[in-house]
Amino acid sequence: MKYRKILLAYNGSEEGRRALLECAQMATFHQAETHLLAVATMPPSLFLTEGFVPEELLEEEKKRAQAVLDEGIQLLVAQGFHASGHLAVGEPVEEICRLARELAVDLIIVGHNQNTSFAARWWKGSVGASLLDYAPCSLLIALPTTHASR
């Protein structure tokens, strides 16, 4: 299959950087249009305790997500690569799927940390696992090099 448009959900983590490298390789190979997405989210505990998100906290989270997005774009530019950046506010899986549909992408790429405990994934949710159920296109989950070589 030839991928024409690729969306990388980038969060700035080590796993996200690994996914960024995989994205660059895939996009180069397929000569695909590439998009990076960073999602500003709020911890679930805030919704449980407050019932709403204070504007100051949301603005700080947007700034953090924008910095992550800028970092991802800079990493790609340093490799001689170009990608369009997108910033969204909301639940990561919903925002990834929304933008994937809007852009009509053929492939979504995300990083995954296999060392995250079951309890942490249960509490925070697993973006990769949820995307398997809701993605409107193919999904590539980039694993750390140490796991990929097993």
Residue 85 has pLDDT above 60, yes or no: yes
Burial class of residue 148, CB neighbours in 10 A (0-12, 13-18, 19+):
exposed
pTM of the predicted model, to two decimals?
A: 0.81
Residue 7 has pLDDT above 60, yes or no: yes
> What is the predicted pLDDT for the residue at 91?
87
Mean pLDDT of the region 26-38: 92
List pLDDT tens digits, range 97-147: 999 999 999 999 998 765 544 333 333 455 656 788 889 999 998 887 664
> What is the predicted pLDDT for the residue at 86?
98
> What is the predicted pLDDT for the residue at 51?
53
| Arithmetic mean of pLDDT over the chain | 81
> What is the predicted pLDDT for the residue at 62?
92
Amino acid at 131: L
Domains of the chain plus CATH, in order, are: 5-148 (3.40.50.620)
Question: How far are the Cα atoms of 31, 61, 81, 123, 142 from residue 26, in angstroms, in the given order?
Answer: 8, 30, 12, 32, 12
Mean pLDDT of the region 29-44: 87
